[in-house]
Each structure stands twice: as structure tokens, then as C-alpha cells.
Amino acid sequence: MQSKINTMIGRYLVQNIKNKLFKGKAIILFGPRQVGKTTLINDLLKNTDYKILFLDGDDPYIQDILNRPNTEQLKQLLGKNNIVFIDEAQRINEIGLTSKIIVDQIKDEQLILSGSSSFDLANTTQEPLTGRKWTFNLWPISWGEWEEHIGYLKAQQDLESRLVYGMYPDVLNHLDEQQNILKELSDSYLYKDILSFANLNKPELVHKIVKALAFQVGSEVSYNEVAQLVGADPKTVTHYIDILEKAFILFRLPTFSRNLRDEIKTNRKIYFYDNGIRNAAINQFQPVGMRQDIGALWENFLMSERQKVLAYNNISAEKYFWRTKQMQEIDYIEEKDGKITAFEFKWNPKRNIQFSKTFTENYACTTLGVTKENFREFLKIS
């Protein structure tokens, strides 16, 4: 495969957001740094007659002028532009109130906000923009977007590399520098919001927790055990994991429990939104054929990609895993419209996939075993 991709990778969210333009509401785009939020907005607005005002929330001057302005000041600032795009809007203390004025008082203006964390932006816009916003999440490139970009055959040939290096746009656009780019992403970008917004004064503890969780992908996570590993108390670990989730680095999967006495009810699994970030945390970039953790890589890949499929298709589903005290388990469960689907993940298609009879006999469900031969069915856009 060529080492550099020269054309922009199309994003599914472009059309979703385009459909919401000029409907009387703000558009808020969340996602970690470096996943292409600004590129997406630029792609959305290219080849249009809209006049666009771009404001960088990282700029102290922009922060100052957008902090508690009045209506007339905002009208002067926005001028005759049709769209105002405020990037890294979480940097602006009063962005919620400012956004409300724009939406309510400047009717012909489309406001678009982007933020690389949900620490402040979600909190400060929640109440002022109640009923006045559309919210979208953007993550690293999805498998469907990648396959459409390079074609089915090349994507299949590239699957093992994606399990190791992940799906960040800069990684995919510079295939000969993947490892260095991931290290830079991990060290310089992804933890930036965590340390600055959450007032964490122990960056080394963040790294220790991320590393500990990286080794436990696909397994149940005990906060007490993680606390012992990193030398911190469980409350601190819980707080840091919550922050890591708000920063779009990882996400939690709770247990499914309804009516069986021996079901595990309180544990959780933790996954990374990107395999490359997970592998960067433990500094392991060996090819798939040389790894002992292929099961964890495969499960994390499928879980992170499934989140994108559901979100980009506006599918609302409850998501779980299931296990009993007798170690019967189901890797992943989705409940949509009262219907339950159970999934088991196996990298090797020759491995026998069996579903727990305890689960299937007690819960009316459909089942699907997911391997590298049929994973596109699990990740299809429908």
C-alpha cells in the first residue's frame, strides 16, 4: 500500500450535519483532538456561497471578545457572515450564554461549535442551549469510511495494520510514519485537555492508569485492582477514568443483568476509542502475527467501530456485556427497541463460537459470531 494518502478521506457526518444547517439551532461537534473536526467543517462548507467566520477558541483574543458580549457586540463581530464556526469552543468561559444570544437574537446566522473535550463545553452549553442545539460526535476514521476511500480489497489487506496502528486521520495519511505519529498524538495532544481542564496535577498517574487499562482491554476491570497497580486510591482512579472518558480516549461497557441470581451486576469493561492509542500507551507495535493480545486487539477494534456505526446512523441502543459467577459470558450485547442481540468475537474464523445456553434460554435473543471473515456485517452502514 502506498505510504501516503493524498486525497481527503470522506466522513459520514458531513451529510448528517449539512441536513441540520439553518434549522434555527446551534450545531455542536464533539471529538478528540486530531480526528478532523475542522477538516470536516471545511469540507462541509466548501463550494458553497456561504460567508464563513472562523474563530479559534485557543486564541486568547477570541476568548476575551466572546466572553459575555452583548447582542450588539456580537452582531458587529459576525457582520454579514452566514456561518460562524468557533473551534475549540470549550476554551471560552461563557460560550453557553454567548451561543444562546447568537441562536436567539441573530436568526439568520448558523452557529457551529467544536470541542475536543466534553468537560466544559457540554456543561456550559447544556442549560443555555436546551432545545437550541444539535449535537454530533466525531471519532477517528471509521472502517466504512476507510474502505470507501481505498477500496474493499486494499482495506481487507490493511486490516491487520489497523488493529495495530488504528484509524486516526494523520496515521492513515502517513502510513510510513504511523508509530511516530501515534506517539506524538499520545504525548502531546490527547492528554492536553485532561491535564488543563480537569485540574489534574499528576500527569504520570494518568499515564499509569491508561497503561493499566490498556492491558485489561476485553477483560472486566476492577477499580480496586487498578488502584493497587498504580499506587492510588480507588476514588482517584474512578475520577481519572471518568475524565478519560469525557476526553474521548476510552469508554465503559456495563454488565447486562435482569433476573438471574448468579449474574455479575456491577463490573464493567473498558475499551479505547482507537487501537493505535491503546498500543501507544503500552508501546507495543508488533505485527499481529507476533502478538499474544490479538483477541484484545480484535475486540477493541470491533467495539470502537461499532460505536461509530451506531452514532453515525442515529441508532439508539443500550450496550452491555454479560457474565455469571460460573464464568459464562457474552462479549457484547445490544438492546434496541426491546430486541436483544448477543455477539461473540473471535479473530480466528476456525475457532468454534458457542453462546451460553443460560443466556439464550433465559433471554429471547438473536446471536452473531464475529470473525475476520464476516466482521463487515457487524460494521455495515444501514
Q: How many domains are there within the chain?
A: 2
Q: How far is Cα 285 from Cα 296, in angstroms, rounded to an integer?
A: 14
pLDDT at position 119? 58
Q: What is the pTM of this model?
A: 0.91
The partner residues of 95 in beta bridges, in order of sequence, read none
Say if residue 328 is in the same domain as residue 280. yes
Same-domain check for residues 285 and 323: yes
pLDDT range class, residue 129, cuts 50, 70, 90: confident
- Band of pLDDT at residue 189, cut at 50, 70 and 90: low
Higher pLDDT, 91 or 293: 293
User: Residue 163 corresponds to which amino acid?
Assistant: L
The pLDDT, as a whole number, for residue 198 is: 65
With bands split at pLDDT 50, 70 and 90, how would you rate the model's confidence at 257? confident
* Residue 351: domain span: 151-378
Assess whether pLDDT exceeds 60 at residue 2. no
DSSP string across 6-25: -SPPP-THHHHHHTTTTSSS
Mean pLDDT estimate for the chain:
89
List, as one string, the DSSP characters of 178-245: HHHHHHHIIIIITTHHHHHHTT---HHHHHHHHHHHHTTTTSEE-HHHHHHHHTS-HHHHHHHHHHHH
CATH number, position 104: 3.40.50.300
In which band, very low, low, confident or very high, does the pLDDT at 193 lie, cut at 50, 70 and 90?
Answer: low
Residues 252 and 324 in one domain: yes
Domain co-membership, 171 together with 41: no
Residue 6 has pLDDT above 70, yes or no: no
Instruction: Give the whole-angstrom CA distance, residue 331 versus residue 344.
Output: 5
